[in-house]
Each structure stands twice: as C-alpha cells, then as structure tokens.
Structure 1
Amino acid sequence: MHRRELLAGTAALGVAGVGAAVTVGGWNPLEDGAALAEFELESLEAPGSEAGTVVVPERGSVTVLELFATWCGVCERLMEPMGAVYDDLGERGYEGVSQGGDVQFLSVTNEPLGRTTTRADVASWWEAHDGRWTVASDADLELTGALDATAVPYTVVLDEANVVTWSETGYKSVEELREPIFAALGE
C-alpha cells in the first residue's frame, strides 16, 4: 500500500514539474538533454555578416539563436537589446567566463527569399535596425521545424554541447537575454 502511494506521489511531482517548466520558462522538448543537430544555413551579405554558409549551432560555443521576420514589429524592437548583448558577449567572446569559450550570435529569417522578400530586403532591414552579427536564411524551414518554432521572434540559447537550455518567444530586455546566456556559460 505504501509503495503505491509513493509511486502516485512521485508521478504527481513529475507532472507538476513539467507544468511548472511550461508555465515558467517556455519549455521546449529539446530541453530533455538531447543535442540539436547542426544545420548549414545560407548566410547573407549584410552588416556584420558575410554571404556564404554558417553552421548552427556551433559545437563548443554557447549559441544565441533568434528567428525573426522583416515584417515583425516585435522583431524590430528586439534588435536593440540583442545588439547590446552582442556587444557585451558576442564576437570577442566573454573573457569573464570561467569555462572559456565564445558565444555565437545568429539571427535567422524563415521568410521565403526570392518571392515577396529578397536577400537585399533582409540586408536593408538588417542595416536599418543596426544588425551587426551573422544573419542567415532557413529557406527549407528545417531549423525552424527542429526547434518547433511557431512564432517570431523566437530566441533560443544552446550550451556548448548544442543542448537547448532556454527558449522564449516575444520581446526580451537586455537582462532577460543575458540571464540564460550566463546560465549556459556556467556563470
């Protein structure tokens, strides 16, 4: 009889924990410890970004990934805090990190380029909103699908092993963006 009560209590705690994760942190199914596969995306010629390809996430680096669209007003507003965090933690890496390592920043549009929106449109939008890190296209929506992203902006932080440690939709302040990055860096 006691064993049955113990099992029921344990199951209830598990359900409550999943419920709390969904409510509090924008839980993502990838957060169960499974690493996100690497994707090769087309990078676009724009300020801070070179035309070619980019691999995301970059194993060995904490990755900050933002899915956006040029028509999205909230995405436009998010560029300022993303830029501030990038200036602090991006390209150069964060030297205060005890584990070392860089932080990869990447913004990805999943708009179908070449139809109503062109690569030049994205580059112009990027420049107008002070983008200065790599911008890429998820033309086949494979990354978008793997992240189960259903809205933009959708921001994801992955640790050095490419495991999703945080994901949220919508606008975030500088502090709301820094906190999960520092957590992924082990700070």
Structure 2
Amino acid sequence: MQRRDLLAGAAALSGTALGGAYVTGFIDPLGSTGSVEHVELESIDAPGSQAGEITVPQQGTVTVLEFFATWCGVCSRQMEPMGAVYDDLGHHDDLQFLSVTNEPVGRTVTREDVANWWADHDGRWTVGLDTDLTLTERLDASGVPYTYVIDRSNTVAYAERGYKAPDELADPIERTLETR
C-alpha cells in the first residue's frame, strides 16, 4: 500500500513540475529540439504592415509571433501589452515582430475586417494571414492568443497561450535576443 502511495505521489510531483515548465514557457510545446521550418505567409495592408508576403520565421533573427483572432476578447486586450513591448524592443535589427490570424479569411472574415480590427486596436507591426493553417499546425498553436519566441536558429524558445502583461512578454524576448 505504501509503495502505491509513493508512486502516485512521485507521478503527481513530476506532472506538476512538467506542467510548471510548460506554463512558464521554458519547454518546447512541440516536444522537439528541431527547428521550425519557415512558411511564406500573406501580409496585409494595415497600420505598420504592408500587403505582400513574409517568411516566418526568418533564419538568423529572433521572431516574436502572436496568434490572434478578431473575435477573441482576450486578443483585443493583448494588443496593448504587445504594443508596449513592440515600442520597447521592436527597433532591434535582428527581431521579427508579427501577429498572425488563422481565421478563415475570405469566408467569415475579410482582409478589410482584419485591417480594420488591427487599426481599431492600435496594431503597428506586421500582420499576416495563415489561412491554410500551415504555421498554426507546425507550431501546434491550439488557441488564441498564443505567443511564441523563436530563436535565431528557428527553435522555439518560448511558447505560452493567454493574456500576458508587458514584462511577461518582454522577458523571454530579451533573454532570446541576448543569446548568441
């Protein structure tokens, strides 16, 4: 009986430690140490963003990537902290800073809807579309908002879902920028 209790306690403790590592963003949610293969995404004409294509992630740069949706209330609230972090850190030459929606653009939402939402929420960095879900699936982005920091070798250095205050966002970005 005691052995069973000891094993159950050890399993609970290791599960708690693993969960804590995941929640703090210090493990790769993909369960791998491999790099994220780049994807070509459409970027749209919106404040701080130009219509065209963008490669995500870019080799040799730190990439800050935020998945969002125009229908998401938490995503709306997340725009202010993201803007503050962009204002503080977005000037780095080796930093790619972007937000991506994986909504079905062209069906339930239009490019104009996304651009208007972007303007209404003071977006001022690149905004892209992942309409075929390629990047979403590669990163296993299972909800919104979902923030990723990808290092210069295109390995996920930080991943966490939900609302984050500016310091919670800036810390993993700064640590990754400092790592050479």
TM-score bracket, normalised by the shorter chain, equals 0.7 to 0.9
1:20-31 aligned within 5 A: 20-25=20-25, 27-30=27-30
**Where do 5+ consecutive residues of structure 1 fail to align?**
1-11, 94-100
Distance 1:67 1:138 in 2: 9
On the 8 A contact 1:110/1:141 being kept in 2, the answer is: yes
Structure 1 counterpart SS, 2:147: strand
What is aligned with 1:143? 135
Q: Over the residues paired in the alignment, what is the CA RMSD in angstroms?
A: 1.8
Q: Residue 120 of structure 1: which of 101, 112, 116 is its match?
A: 112
Report how many residues are paired. 166
- In the superposition, the TM-score normalised over structure 2's length comes to 0.86
1:91-106 aligned within 5 A: 92-93=91-92, 101-106=93-98
1:148-159 aligned within 5 A: 148-159=140-151
Structure 1 counterpart SS, 2:148: strand
Output the amino acid matched with 2:158.
W
Distance 1:53 1:64 in 2: 17
- Name the CA shift for 1:81/1:24 in 2 (closer, same or farther; >3 Å): closer
What is aligned with 1:39? 39
Aligned residues with identical type, % of pairs: 58
On the 8 A contact 1:26/1:168 being kept in 2, the answer is: no
On the 8 A contact 1:44/1:119 being kept in 2, the answer is: yes
Structure 2 counterpart SS, 1:25: coil
- Name the CA shift for 1:46/1:23 in 2 (closer, same or farther; >3 Å): closer
**Where do 5+ consecutive residues of structure 2 fail to align?**
1-10
Distance 2:88 2:57 in 1: 20
Distance 1:130 1:24 in 2: 27
What is aligned with 2:178? 186
Structure 1 residue 52, shift from structure 2 partner: 0.7
Structure 1 residue 32, shift from structure 2 partner: 3.6
What is aligned with 1:66? 66
- In the superposition, the TM-score normalised over structure 1's length comes to 0.83
